[in-house]
Amino acid sequence: MTPTTYASLLKDLQRLEKRVTEAHVALSRSSPRLAGRLGARHTVSETGGRVEDFVVLCARKSAVQFLLRTVYVRVLEDLGALDPPRIRGDRGFATFKDVAPGLGVRAYLKFVFADLSRDFPGLFTAGPDEVGELPPEDLCREVWDLWHHPNRDGVTYDWAAPEAAAASETAAEWRFDSRFLGDLYQDLDAEVRKRYALLQTPDFVERYILDHTLTPALAEFGLEPESVARQGGGVERQTIRVLDPTCGSGHFLIGAFRRLAAAFEATGLSARAACERALDGVWGCDLNPHAVDIARFRLLLEVIARTGDTDAAWLGDLSERLHLTVMDSLVPWEKGGASGEQADLFDQSGAKDRLSKYATAEERAANAAFLSAEGAGGFHVVVGNPPYITPKDVRKRDDYRAFWPDSAAGKYAMSAPFVERFFSLGVPGAYVGQITANSFMKREFGKRLVERALPRVELTRVVDTSGAYIPGHGTPTVILFGQNRTSPRSGTIWAVLGKRGEPKRPAVAAQGLVWSAI
User: Do the Cβ atoms of 482 and 459 come closer than 8 Å?
Assistant: yes
- 262 and 253 in contact (C-beta within 8 Å)? no
Q: What is the mean pLDDT of the chain?
A: 86
8-51 pLDDT, tens digit each: 899 999 999 999 999 999 988 888 888 888 878 776 565 567 87
pLDDT at position 340: 38
Q: pLDDT higher for 451 or 56? A: 451
State the pLDDT confidence band at 317, using cuts at 50, 70 and 90: confident
Residue 162's contacts (CB-CB under 8 Å, 6 or more residues apart) are 168, 170, 171, 174
In the predicted model, is pLDDT for residue 450 greater than 70? yes
pLDDT of 168 above 80: no
Q: What is the pTM of this model?
A: 0.86
Indicate the pairing of strand 426-437 with strand 477-483.
Answer: antiparallel
d(CA 236, CA 234): 7
With vertex at residue 179, the alpha carbon angle to CA 173 and CA 185, rounded to the nearest 5 degrees, is 150
Strands of the sheet containing 458-464, edge to edge, are 323-326, 282-286, 242-244, 379-384, 426-437, 477-483, 458-464, 494-496
Q: What is the signed CA dihedral for 425, 428, 434, 438, rounded to 10 degrees?
A: 100
pLDDT of residue 165: 38
Using alpha carbons, list the distances in angstroms from residue 356 to 215, 345, 363.
Answer: 39, 18, 10
Residue 401 confidence (pLDDT): 93
Rounded Cα–Cα distance for residues 199 and 214 (Å) = 22
Tell me the per-residue pLDDT of 284-293, one tens digit each, with 9 for 90 and over: 999 888 889 8
| Mean pLDDT along residues 78-101 | 90
Position 489 scores a pLDDT of 78
